[in-house]
Chains A and B, each alone.
Chain A
Amino acid sequence: MFLLCASGESVKVFSTATEECLHALQGHTDLITGVLLRPSNHLQAYSCSLDGTVRLWDFTDGILIRTYSIGYPIYGIYASAKHEGVIFIITPMHTDTNSELFQLVAVHLPQCGEQLVEAKELSAVLSNISSNPAASAFGREGQYIVSAKPLQLEVYFFKKHKSYSFFLKKDNQKGGKNTFTCITCHPTEDCIASGHEDGKIRLWRNFNHRKEYTYSTLHWHHSAVSSLRFTPEGTNLLSGGVESVLVQWRYNQESQRDFLPRLGGAITHISVSPDGALFCTSHSDNKITIIQSCVKVSAVIQGLVKGDRIRTDLMIEPRSKALVLNGKPGHLQFYSLQRDKLLYNLDIVQQEYIHESGLEQFEVVMAAFDASGSWLATVEERKQKAPELELNLKLWAFDDQKQSFVLNTTISAPHEGRITALCFPHVSDGQTTMLVSTSRDGHFKAWQLAAPAHTEDEGPSWSCDFLGAYHSLVPECCCFSADSSLLAVGFQEVVTVWTPASWELLTTLSQPPGAVRDLCFGRLSCSKYLLGATTSRLLCCWNLLTCSLEWVTSMDVSLLLADPLSENMAAFCFEAGSTDLFVFKPGEPRPLFSHKALCSGRVTHAVFVPREVMLESCDEASQWLNCSHLYFLTQSMDLLTFITKAEEDKLTASSKQLVVSDDVAMTPFHLLLGKHRDQLENPQAESRLSVEPIRQPSSSAGINELLQMPAHVLPSASFLCSMFVQSLLISVNKPSEQNKEKEEEMESEKEEEDSDGEMESRISRPEHMPSGESGCAAPALTKEEVRELRRLKKLDHSWMKGLLD
């Protein structure tokens, strides 16, 4: 079973069993607005996009079959088995893009074998309809099409070429809104289900008469119904909305309902598999839930959770190197950057989430990890008005057994005002026992991990150790020096420097006018410098040894960031509507790297992610990326990063390979044969390929193809198996090659041959290694291993050759 999902400019094909993304159907150049199975062939799908094309795909193999060019932006697509060769699309009535009026247009798809077809035969069916694809639907056996406008239901009968309209009053007595939100039709009976703004579902019947139509009302949802769907037999009606509850109504027995609550974010779409065995809901938090027809969740496909807004900083969890940011409401998400996969959500608020728009919820606004990753501090708040502010500071300890964070201490109302900054000292060895929080109430507090004072307490917990203030000014930011011997707290215009050992105020620094917005200590050799960004568009650098200003420059810094592994600092500056990036060392006046007009809007979240493997520097401009990646989040919530030239080359190389195969391939057999011939003709090309980093576990393209090919086009497994195993074994009768080697190697060779099983395991290991890695590690390999590798390269496809011959 496959699940198709429109995602940006591509259609992703997921397997419903493994939740894995099998292909991304790429080709559209603008947002995809609709995906539809081809009614006459369920192995093909149409997709429509704002770029004005409809594309037909073979989604099992991920191949584009045909492109129909319409020429207008398309907002929705419909098709019916009764209307062979016709698709219905929603397009704007006027060509200008700002048009608010849309029409439903029937398109006759020309039958020809070309790749790119221009569909010219357009005929308008309904005009002045809603652009929402959920607000139109085909009726029973394609006899009529229904479309909903804000307060009007329009039914068009194809046989009679006649349309009926039914109106609802603007507001009913109880004050609920009658606006239509979505619509669906019963597959075997004349019944239209419509969802409304006030959570009601109306079932319309007898609508082929203008006067004698009837409708019945179902009401469970308390806010707008966002999606409605009948099961293929028409026995059940599924509905969903903001409440995140999937409701299954029995058709004709509407009092019987099944519920599936707490699915996650608000339900945006519901779809049902053609055989009715699986339902699928998509949610506003970038999640797809696959549900069995017995109303039981069977799988969840979750991307990077999209929240309303990111309140926490971007952080790196020091243990797993996962990116941490706001996820589901009240949660922190841990996202693996390497695997581009959500690891888990940590429930911070630990309260039942009430899905209701306009309700003030607890939000995680602040989070911080200590250097070793054994403690996590989070701040959650509700109600932003000062007198009713509810604040909780929670400290989580990493539990080695559970491999997750476990709540250690909850401090309710840690401050009287909102917390502005939170930081742990950078203790490289041993346990962190301190946390500093600054608040709008004019204080900063140091929290200390204290051993249990009494027998009833289970373990150590956190308590307030010190309360600091400076002339009743409001602290905005705080920062620990690299060795944690100094704490800098920015109190509006004044930076105060404290020693955490005795909590003495050591010195104050200031650069009026303008409050200090961001503070950052230098690292390593630059640890004597303290940098501060002020609201008066200044970036100041103080020398802490002389307590004087080292240099100052005029820039509107929106974010100041220190690389934990080098002396480099990154400053995101907001200049004329866009953001510039400067990377510099505090000790040197000249920036290492600058990038003007990085993106539009302010960048307020960024993080340095330490690399797993240090890069050998290639050129000067990208030297600052040697230790860490820099990820940043733009205002439009895109997560971007910088790569070096070498990495870019690698990336393009690997994508180029895919492009090549796409050009050649028409069918799986073509793909297999053509590719193989390439390899036979050009052994050098093959070696080039094997050096490239491909993330698949197997480096062999042949095996890859074998695994990706549909089973029905392959020979029987028993036939393949023997050849496959043979290809893995090193054939004994190759005297010519062995003779070339030195005698001592012969001995080792023989030893290997003695134990067949052992040899096999040893050989299969390098094969399953990403070949990029083996290429990098080549100098470290022994002679013997190199020889084996070389032989493997030759052997790799010999069994395939046998198959093809």
Chain B
Amino acid sequence: MASYKPTNIPVYPKLGEKVTEETLYWKNYKTPIQIKEFGAVSNIHFSPVTPYNFAVTAFTRIHLYGLLSQEPVKTFTRFKDTAYCGRFRSDGQLLVAGCEDSVVRLFDVSGKVALRMFKGHTKAVHVTDFTSDRYQILTGSDDYTCCLWDIPNSAQLNTYQEHTDYIRCGVTSQLNRDLFVTGSYDHSLKVFDARVDKSVMTINHGHPVESLLLYPSEGLLVSAGGRYVRVWDLLKGGQPLVSLKNHHKTVTCLALSSNGQRLLSGSLDRHVKVYNTTSYKVVHNFDYPAAILSLALAPEDESIVVGMTNSILSIKHRKPSEEAKETAGHQRRRPSYRVYAHRKSYVPKQDDYLVSKPVRQHLAKYDKQLKKFNVSKALDTALETWIRGRKPEITVAVIRELDRRGTLKNALAGRDEQELSRLLSFLIANLVDARFAPVLITAAEMILDIYQSIIGQSPVVDKQLLHLQSLLERELDYQKDLLEVLGMLDTMFASSLPKIELPCSGISTSNGLPQGQSTASRPQILAA
């Protein structure tokens, strides 16, 4: 005897974004912590050593946050004007920052007062960085110059005056203490060698350069400016490798995920995009509430910190991984396992006759009612708010099943005002969904047939019916427009595609009974 077959709930392919391993990885962050800063967050930099504090440069202050703290652990406030580009030295002991007042300040992370002040620029300094030997500082300024400074005696070592516009970004090589790259609003990137006093390579980005990034191997350079993110191969003399145009506003910041497999870019269009660095395809996208100015990733991608123009700092922490959770759960369960260990120890022998308990079929509530042919109740169950809102496909499947059984009319009939308005609101919400329309249109027709006599008795129902009517009219207009577009596309395709000449014309008499001459004209088909 066969058992009851439950209603088949069709699985619809998920619309919109496809779930990939990437999206799972990048979605595995907790809800962001938002911290209000004093002004637009222009730069975020992670300390390279534990405990991985990060410096947030916003307006006239630099805040140091711990990785998990929501309050700043340290604040540097000795700036006369807007501070720029607070960066740690590779040992995490020193912090350098530029300022609108053209003075570059060097701080001890534990102190408050600037250890050194480098004065020499004439305009705001937007770029500061330590060289890899830790004793020098690179600065870039709005006076079109970039300088190298010596830390111990705060002397200016070298000045390069090659750019012809503001220098807004720069990065030093971590492998060579003499190499550094600067990007400027004159659309160019310049690679400098401190051992010679002019640039060794010039690359044209094509747009004012906003951000620069060197790969850990330093063979590739990434530059962001305008709407473009471009990758350059330095080893091949600055050959363009790829140009990415995935943002629709200026790209302001770049970051590399800890394993170097993914590149992130933040933009004024309020998105952070994640690229695969082998295929350079966008694999994930984050949305933020405001234009993004700065972006940083904690080591091992433990958190993503984003600074925005509305002076909000957003910190997302990674969720603890599944394995950690599992081990925790296992430990908790251990005592109960011990209690039942004696049962588990019995392994059935080969010639034991196993008596299995009949498995009781679990049925959903609406299936239980359908099994008993309680059609109205089954429809009521399927129209419960939870199912109706979250899983309309279940409601639709029950309606389809009732229709198949020929009892949909019975189930729909005899409803009071409240139930009817529930039905109608479900129809209004789902009638134009292409997946549900064939089933729901039948149901809607039946409802109109059954309840046409009571139209005008209840204002609630009348309002919903009018709503349904306008919805349908709108949908019809949409469909008409779509058909028009399709027709236009067809004509365009037909005119643009080259006409395929068939070897044999459609219905021609030469295809009929064998005619000797017809075979000669089409030897090219023989290959097929």
Contacts and interface: CB of A to CB of B under 8 A. Distances in A.
Interface of A: 260-263, 297, 347, 350-352, 354, 356, 359-362, 382, 388, 390, 410, 412-413, 453-456, 471, 485-486, 493-494, 497, 499, 504-512, 544-550, 552
Given A351-B404, A494-B506, A506-B525, A454 B18 contact: yes
B518 A505 contact: no
A412 B2 CA distance: 25
A547 B504 contact: yes
B519 interface: yes
A261 to B, nearest CB: 8
Nearest to A485: B528
B2 A507 contact: no
A492 to B, nearest CB: 10
B518 A548 contact: yes
Contacts of A486: 528
A133 B502 CA distance: 69
14 contacts: A261-B1, A262-B4, A359-B406, A453-B18, A507-B522, A508-B506, A509-B504, A509-B511, A510-B506, A510-B508, A544-B525, A547-B522, A548-B515, A549-B512
Contacts of B370: 352
Nearest to B518: A548
B1 A260 contact: yes
Interface string B123-141: 0000000000000000000
A506 B528 contact: yes
Nearest to A545: B526
Q: Which of A350, A361, A454, A493 lies at the interface centre, i.e. has the most chain B CB atoms within 10 A of its CB?
A: A454
A507 B8 contact: no
Interface in B1-17: 1-8, 10
Interface stretch (B19-27, B178-186, B272-280, B488-496): B19-27
B504 A508 contact: yes
A511 B512 contact: yes
A509 B438 CA distance: 39
B501 to A, nearest CB: 11
A544 B519 CA distance: 11
Nearest to A501: B528
Contacts of B359: none
B212 to A, nearest CB: 34
A506 B519 CA distance: 15
A504 B501 CA distance: 11
Contact of B507 (A351, A356, A512): A512
Contacts of A354: 404-406
Contacts of B5: 347, 350-352
Contacts of A546: 514, 519
A566 B1 CA distance: 43
A263 B3 CA distance: 10
B503 interface: yes
Contacts of A505: 500, 502
A544 B3 CA distance: 53
A137 to B, nearest CB: 29
B19 A455 contact: yes
Nearest to B3: A262
Contacts of B405: 354, 356, 359
Contacts of B371: 352
B19 A550 contact: no
Contacts of A499: 528
Given A351-B404, A455-B21, A510-B506, 12 more contacts: A347-B5, A352-B5, A504-B500, A509-B504, A510-B507, A544-B525, A547-B511, A547-B522, A547-B525, A548-B515, A549-B511, A552-B513
B423 to A, nearest CB: 21
Interface of B, helix, strand, loop or mixed by DSSP? loop
A454 B19 contact: yes
A297 to B, nearest CB: 5
A507 B502 contact: yes
A362 B400 CA distance: 12
Given A486-B528, A494-B507, A550-B514, A263 B20 contact: no
A508 B10 CA distance: 40
B135 to A, nearest CB: 49
Contacts of A504: 500
A471 B21 CA distance: 45
Given A455-B21, A494-B507, A412 B514 contact: no
A493 B525 contact: no
Contacts of A512: 507
A109 B320 CA distance: 92
Contacts of A544: 525
Contacts of B7: 351-352
Nearest to B400: A390
A338 B528 CA distance: 41
Nearest to A542: B511
A382 B404 contact: yes
A352 B4 CA distance: 6
B525 A356 contact: no
B74 to A, nearest CB: 42
Interface in B374-407: 401, 404-406
Contacts of B18: 453-454
Contact of A262 (B2, B8, B519, B525): B2
A477 B7 CA distance: 34
Given A262-B3, A485-B528, A547-B522, A456 B19 contact: yes
Nearest to B2: A262
Contacts of B514: 546, 548-550
Contacts of A510: 506-508, 511-512
Contact of A351 (B8, B442, B505, B525): B8
A712 B432 CA distance: 77
Contacts of B522: 507, 547
A261 B1 CA distance: 8
A324 B277 CA distance: 53
Contacts of A362: 404
B314 to A, nearest CB: 28
Contacts of B502: 505, 507-508
Contact of A507 (B401, B442, B503, B519): B503
Contact of B8 (A350, A390, A455, A506): A350
Contact of B519 (A412, A548, A552): A548
Contacts of B504: 507-509, 547
Contact of A493 (B438, B507, B515): B507
Interface in B469-528: 500, 502-508, 511-515, 518-519, 522, 525-526, 528
Nearest to B520: A546
Contacts of A260: 1
Q: 4 nearest interchain CB pairs?
A: A546-B519, A352-B5, A548-B514, A262-B2
B264 to A, nearest CB: 22
B506 A549 contact: no
Nearest to B507: A510
B21 A262 contact: no
B10 A412 contact: yes
Contacts of B3: 262
A653 B513 CA distance: 52
Q: Which of A471, A508, A548, A550 lies at the interface centre, i.e. has the most chain B CB atoms within 10 A of its CB?
A: A548
Contacts of A297: 1
A277 to B, nearest CB: 19
A511 B500 CA distance: 23
A146 B456 CA distance: 60
Contacts of A390: 438
B330 to A, nearest CB: 25
A413 B2 CA distance: 28
B10 A410 contact: yes
A390 B5 CA distance: 20
A452 B506 CA distance: 39
B419 to A, nearest CB: 25
Interface in B244-260: none
B240 to A, nearest CB: 31
A510 B504 CA distance: 11
A350 B5 CA distance: 7
Nearest to A410: B10
A504 B512 CA distance: 23
